[in-house]
Amino acid sequence: MSVQQIKRAFLELIDEHQKIDPYELRRIFTEAIREWEMNKGWNEGSRGDPWTDDELRVVLSDAPTKENCLKHARAFGRGYGAVEQIYRWAASSEVQIRQRGRQDDAFIQQVKRVAKQLGWRA
């Protein structure tokens, strides 16, 4: 199927569902694409490898959205949950980290250090 044929099919689908708000259609489409990508999977060759400061800087420079978690997981060859966890630790307060007994975790300290450099507040 060519790009033009795909575009035509999308336009026909939109025309068939004119009663649905265009923003709602966009949300449904985006969610379907994200779900398809998650089910299809990607090369997670770097799974379990340590994160570099530069990789963390790239991740934490974007908003913590589902789209960005997926984008960075694919780009860095990591699992979706690994990227999501970076955002969670960056947003966690020192009290929350201490309550979980993770104050001496080198990875969490690295995430917090890079997040602080970027101006994150927790």
Q: What is the DSSP letter of 49?
A: S
Structure tokens given for 62? 């974007």
What count of other Cβ atoms lies within 10 Å of the Cβ of residue 42?
15
- Summarised one tens digit per residue, pLDDT across range 54-87 is 999 999 999 999 999 999 999 999 999 999 999 9
Number of residues that make up the chain: 122
Nearest Cα residue to 115 out of 94, 96, 87: 87
pLDDT tens for 41-56 read 899 999 989 999 999 9
Single pTM value for the model: 0.80
Report the pLDDT value the prediction gives residue 1, as an integer from 0 to 100.
87
pLDDT reported for residue 121: 83
